[in-house]
Amino acid sequence: MGLLAGRGGEVAGIIRWPEQAGDLLAAGTEPVVCGLESAAGAEVAPG
């Protein structure tokens, strides 16, 4: 994740709980809170 963000790419990581965001933020990754079991396809892969 850090390599992609370091190259200027936009990186997102799916987490279940907001409390898990710290590690992703530290790596330059945008945390996205999403429960994959109940998420609609557009929530996981928009556009």
pLDDT at 22: 95
Whole-model pTM? Answer: 0.60
Q: Which two tokens stand for residue 35?
A: 């429960």
Q: 44: how many CB neighbours lie within 10 A of its CB? A: 11
Query: How crowded is the C-beta side of 26, counted as CA atoms within 13 Å?
Result: 4
Closest CA to 23 of 13, 33, 35, 9: 13
Under a CB-based contact definition with an 8 Å cutoff, are residues 27 and 1 in contact?
Answer: yes
pLDDT digits (tens, 9 = 90+) for 8-41: 777 888 898 999 999 889 888 889 888 776 666 6
Strands (E), the chain: 12-15, 30-33
